[in-house]
Chain A
Amino acid sequence: MSPEKDHQDIHHGILGTIVRFALRRRGVIIALAALFLGYSVFSLTKARYDVFPEFAPPQVKIHTEAPGFSPSQAEQLITRPIETAVSGVGGVSTVMSKSIEGLSVVKVMFKSGTNVYLARQKISERLSTLTGQLPKGITPGMTPLTSSTGNVLTIGLTSKKQKLSTMQLRTVANWTVRPRLLAVAGVSKVAIFGSQDKELQVQVAPNRLIRYGLSMEDVISAGKKATGLEGAGFIDGANQRITIRSQGQSLTAKEMAQAVVAYKNGANITLGDVAHVTEAPAPQLGGTLINGKPGILLVVDAQYGANTLEVTRGLDKAVAELGPALKAQGITLHPSLFRAADFIRSALHNVNSALIIGALLVIAVLFLFLFNLRTAAISCAAIPLSLLGSVTIMERLGMSLNTMTIGGLAIAIGEVVDDAVIDMENIFRRLRENRLADKPRPTLRVVYEASVEVRSAVVYATFAVVLVFIPVLTMGGIAGSFFAPLGLSYVFAIMSSLLVALTVTPALSFAMLGGEKEKTKKLKEEDPPFVRWTRKHYSRAIHAVERRPKAVLAAAALLIAATIAIIPFLKGKFLPELIEGNFIVHVSEAPGTSLRENLRTGRILARKLLALPYVVSVAQRAGRSEEGEEARGTNASEYDLTLKPLDKAKFDKAKKQIEGIVKKFPGITSSVDTFLSERIGETISGYRAPVAVNIYGNDLDMLDQKAAQAAALLSGIRGAADVRLQAPPNAPELLVSLNKPGLARWGFEPAQVLDDIHTAFAGKTVGQVFEGDRVFNVSVILDPKSRRSIAGLGNLPLKNPAGAYISLSQLASLHEMPSRFVILHQDARRVQTITCRVQSRNLSSFVAQAKKVLSSQIKLPPGSYIDFAGAAQEQARARRDLFMHSAIAAIGIIILLSIVTVSYRNLLLILLNLPFALSGGIFVALAAGGSLSIGSLVGFVTLFGITLRNSVMLISHYEHLVREEGMNWGLQTAVRGASERLAPILMTASVTALGLLPLALGSGSPGREIEGPMAQIILGGLVTSTLLNLLVMPTLALRFGRFEKRSPEEEAL
């Protein structure tokens, strides 16, 4: 090792060592790269594909069915004890609950990053402590773990000419379709909507009870006896053990009807004498119409972390297998009433095609600039290596490939190419210079030095870009969930690119450009034609600028000032509308609306919606199902609309048209959303609307009153739309108040009366019957006619211990009274929530005004208060986070850049390019509709990173020319430096711009909704920053930069 070489190694440190190793072992490096490429392509096949990153924080839902319980009973007897049990579990961020008729749903949300399995374990342990604390027969259960976009497929069953009832369809769905779907790998839950399960119902006629002198208890007892099944044991003989199997229980309605209830006057009184024993569905919680016809919906949810596309493939196969059997039974299968995979496929296809088109454009640009197939090939090789490197890291970390992570890769293309181009271009130039030199040095040495020469600045610039992304990586809330994966994939890509630039690019450069004399000869003596042409014109431009420096600087300052002036006029929005192939229409009528009325509306609405040319199917889910997680009453419906493929303009028009149709229905409040937009909204605030106002307090009446006042005030604020109370009052409730003297007079126990009411109107399960491997409940309930009216309840005959029949109206007062349809809690406090949408107005300003109006006009009692939630708050929080972390990152960047630049002036010159970048971005945002989403802000962050890197490269090249090559700082050096950096800067800019161009242009197509605006911002910013970097920066550097030759002290170091 010569002393000169030692000096070089020490000078270039670890980077030099890596580059030298790569050059020496170029064969190994290239082979490893090829191997890695192969492995990465293989990884791609295993990667998990999804439309978005998992955006919901870990959460556990506790679902407790409480048949017959009113909302207030469910709240006090079930929700409260559960909330008490789960509160205090480590890592819990929020506990939200809804108590509605017959159901309590408690949602426990954990802090981001919490292990969801551990969270479930903790909740499960707490729930086990509730044994004995809840009413008899009430068991809380955790719903299966699904991802935030868990619903992967919705299929429907209808009967041809309605030969089969919905109950029969339900039986098929329950016992034939569901087990097959659940067997598909990755499926966590299949909820069935449309009809309740078949039961063998003993529908008691109250008149006949009296006629035969029987009580409800007698019937229940007879039902139990008729269906009771006991194990019979075994006979243990000397040689054999013989199992005893007893049978004889009633299995059919006919057999049940013959079961004896009592023996009177020498005759048997059977269940058939006092009741109609029949197969009937359990009391309905919900109903379904498919294209306006009664049917059954099966909603399939995927497991947490499952690959949606793979699960859908499995489901498709299962559905195809079931098809013939269902057809044979006269059942029409609707195989895709909702299909998440369609959007994922089209979104990924669009993003991928944008990536591929971008990559092809990049290759074309590279060839145009380099005009050499070999150099273009070397640069292009860096693209797949770096991007697949990022994909492999993500796959190893368990991250999915989604529109956000792929977007990150698309953004990174520019820098990836830049890394390779800077290196390769310098090697190319130095090799050419070396060939023309009098005493050419060894090629390996030239390649090594050329590579190391630019490496230091590139490394620092890369780390500066990583720092720039810190705000994106550390963003909290849902914005963080979306954009952190984008940032990570970007950072992984540029770090992979750095590694490629340090190893593969020098190795390939030497192998392809410098290995043999023949190859070297092929290097043309002049720059490529396009570069020559641009340099010629660029040199003229710089000189022109230099002749009028003040005017140019003033124009630049004016541009920045105009930019700042525009900012306040831009509207803020959280996330843009997603163009999915579906709409979800939510429709609510007044609380207490019956299922029948709801379905009547549904039939009319379906007919009108199906008349629209782009609507393929309409599936209505009215109310809820027992497996469904939605705490929805019979007054509310969800319509899944499947659409034909639509572009953005038609999609927007379709949405307006559908909204118009729904709004024409009297008394309906509605919302039209896409599935993912809705899920995002729900994750943010628990509601779909972007503004949610919570009023906390203990007194429900006070909450109702204040909420109504707040709703009226919100309705009056300009831009407010669809203002609605989430827990509206005036749900009809029939209060049965037992009359104590009456009970005492007739000798009744309150519990007996309540039990009879429960049996009569909610039904009581008394046993099970079997049909092959199918099990159905046997229940006792009042006949449907007697259950239909308030008078029926009053006439309910109750038998006292003396055998006398007294009607319920003699033992209790019955009053229909306004009540609450739902009681909401947040963090174990009662809350009334008012939600609204904002039209034709900035969301942030609406919320600001709403806060002001509500705080000044609503006076709350002590202990009560108002807070705001929803997208507006989330947006504000995301912005705050972004700016706070940006400030921290900025300090880090300044520190890092101060290492790479010799003077703080040069550092400030680098930073000066940022406002230039801001201008283009802001003008593009203004041109694209004048709104700034969180995606746009992330676009700015990305833009700043790219701009920073370009500035660093220019300024550090000036420093290199002066300090390393000994040139004197002046116009000539400034022009030479800028000209030499012209090609890489233009290449980086055009490569990044063209890479993102398909994303930016197709921002209205599925999958590009979030990244489209981001790409537009980056494109716009790149134009201004590149122009100003190339034209204004040399002038500024000439005047304010400090570029001095190495001092003797520095030389000594």
Chain B
Amino acid sequence: MRPRSKRFFAVSFIFIFILAVLAVFFLLSGEKKKEEDGGITKNTLPPGYTVTVSVESQNAGGIMAETLKPGLYQNRVTAYGEVLSPEGLVSSYKNYISARSLVDKAGAQLKASEKEYARLKVLNADAKNVSDRQLQAAAARLASDEADEAGALGALRSAKNVIGINWGTTLLKWVLGYTASLQRVIEVKDALVQLTLPSASSLTGIPAQVWIEPPSGGLVPARFVSRAISTAPNIQGISFIYVAPALSGRLVPGMNVTAQMPSAGAQNGFFVPASAVVWLQDRAWVYVKESRTGFSRVELPTTTPVSNGYFATGVFSAGDRIVIKGAQALLSAESTLKSAGGGGGEGDDD
């Protein structure tokens, strides 16, 4: 019994030991071998800027497409302006008038002096009916009046130049002609407004009429008068002078106003709402619905931003349907497919 029991005991001990070691090994290694050859499947990605979303998912995500609205777009730029005081113009006009009266006066004086000199000259020549001394005095008066006239003419030219320099040729003409327009300005029925474009802006043509927004609100039509001779020093852009009805004090001198000025000719194109636009890689994109489930991402030129969106020309065709709700969801879907991790960012921290 004893030797047999020893043998049996030894065998069972070794058996248990081996089993225990095996158990530990298996528990530690799990089912590594079994899973070793679990194959890698190919990651199939859709080509290019397209994404396919089932109708069910579109409904779930509230994706909504809409036919693009064609339209005529007039780009505008905000000009900053000031209602000019007519005082300077009145003063210029006064200066001009007084210069002109001086010229007239000098002319009349000269005319009289010329006639007097001619008469005395005839009398002097006719047996010296007048003395040489008298003739010489008349000649001196004539020379003096000629000089006075030249001076008055110079002053008039100067007055005109000043007006021209300060107000431009159009307004110079107003002053020289004392036009009805000038009269309305002087009578404060109309107001002159100097509008200046922001320094980086330009216009392809000067609009004949713009709408001015006075501080009190509303819009006032203004007619183009001329290019301004000087710019507003604080704006540093090109400047224009417009005339607008003063409307009983709605536009008074010194008032700061703005005006929307068409910057280019009207264009045909499509309005793209901001809700349709997504930005990626420094470019703006719009998803165009190509089929029931297919969407393609189309680049949107952003050169013409409009209120709440963009105006696009040359990109879309009439009848194109773009995604106006859920564009970001499509971008997410596209990036999720491409990177296998587009969503990311659990945002925990935790």
Residues of chain A having any CB pair with chain B under 8 Å: 61, 98, 105, 107, 207, 210-213, 265, 273, 553, 557, 560-561, 564, 567-569, 571-572, 586-594, 597, 600-601, 604, 608, 624, 629-633, 635-636, 638, 661, 664-671, 678, 682, 686-689, 707-708, 711-719, 723-730, 732, 788-791, 797, 799, 802-807, 809-810, 815-818, 821-822, 834-835, 841-842, 844-846, 848-849, 853, 879-880, 883, 905, 908, 911-912, 915, 918, 932, 1039-1040
Contacts and interface: CB of A to CB of B under 8 A. Distances in A.
B221 interface: no
A883 B350 contact: no
Contact of A588 (B41, B258, B346): B346
A22 B4 CA distance: 49
A393 B21 CA distance: 38
Contact of A666 (B36, B57, B349): B57
B13 interface: yes
B41 to A, nearest CB: 5
Given A604-B60, A687-B348, A712-B43, A597 B329 contact: yes
Given A601-B61, A668-B343, A912 B40 contact: no
B292 interface: no
B118 to A, nearest CB: 59
A915 B16 contact: yes
B5 interface: yes
Contact of B236 (A687, A805, A911, A918): A805
Contacts of B350: 61, 105, 107, 629-631, 682, 686
A554 to B, nearest CB: 11
A233 to B, nearest CB: 42
B28 interface: yes
B26 interface: yes
A211 B274 CA distance: 28
Contact of A667 (B283, B302, B334): B334
Interface in B1-51: 1, 5, 8-9, 12-13, 15-16, 19-20, 22-24, 26-28, 30-32, 34-36, 38-43
Nearest to A883: B24
Task: Identify the interface centre among A590, A713, A718, A818: most chain B CB within 10 Å of its CB.
Answer: A590
Nearest to A792: B305
Contacts, number: 310
Given A273-B215, A802-B233, A845-B34, 9 more contacts: A590-B328, A594-B328, A714-B340, A715-B43, A716-B43, A719-B38, A730-B335, A845-B30, A845-B32
Nearest to B18: A564
B34 A669 contact: no
B332 interface: yes
Contacts of B332: 589-590, 593, 666-668
B329 A98 contact: no
Given A666-B332, A817-B281, A845-B34, A682 B9 contact: no
Contacts of B282: 815-817
Contact of B5 (A688, A841, A1040): A1040
A589 B38 contact: no
A9 B199 CA distance: 110
A631 B234 contact: no
Closest 7 CB pairs of A and B: A667-B332, A632-B347, A669-B343, A845-B35, A728-B344, A667-B333, A588-B343
A212 B349 contact: no
A805 B258 CA distance: 15
A207 B344 contact: no
A600 B62 contact: yes
A770 B215 CA distance: 32
B339 A728 contact: yes
B325 to A, nearest CB: 7
B346 to A, nearest CB: 6
Contacts of B56: 664
Given A567-B23, A589-B332, A848-B32, A726 B345 contact: yes
Interface of B: 1, 5, 8-9, 12-13, 15-16, 19-20, 22-24, 26-28, 30-32, 34-36, 38-43, 53, 56-58, 60-63, 78, 80, 198-200, 215, 233-236, 254, 256-258, 274, 279-284, 302, 305, 325-326, 328-336, 339-350
A265 B63 contact: no
23 contacts: A107-B349, A213-B234, A590-B332, A600-B326, A629-B350, A631-B347, A633-B347, A636-B345, A636-B346, A666-B53, A666-B57, A666-B333, A667-B336, A712-B43, A718-B39, A725-B344, A730-B280, A788-B274, A817-B282, A844-B31, A1039-B9, A1040-B8, A1040-B12
Given A604-B60, A725-B341, A845-B30, A105 B349 contact: yes
Contacts of B38: 717-719, 841, 845-846, 849
B200 A711 contact: no
Given A665-B57, A718-B39, A636 B19 contact: no
Contacts of A668: 61, 329, 332, 343
Contacts of A591: 344-345
B328 A849 contact: no
B343 A630 contact: no
B341 A834 contact: yes
A915 B20 contact: yes
B341 A716 contact: no
A1032 B239 CA distance: 110
B45 to A, nearest CB: 9
A212 B60 contact: no
B340 A1040 contact: no
Contact of B329 (A572, A666, A708): A666
Task: Identify the interface centre among B26, B279, B334, B341: most chain A CB within 10 Å of its CB.
Answer: B341
B24 A588 contact: no
Nearest to B36: A849
B343 A666 contact: no
A557 B15 contact: yes
A635 B345 contact: yes
Given A666-B326, A666-B332, A667-B334, A807 B198 contact: yes
Given A630-B349, A804-B235, A806-B199, A564 B254 contact: no
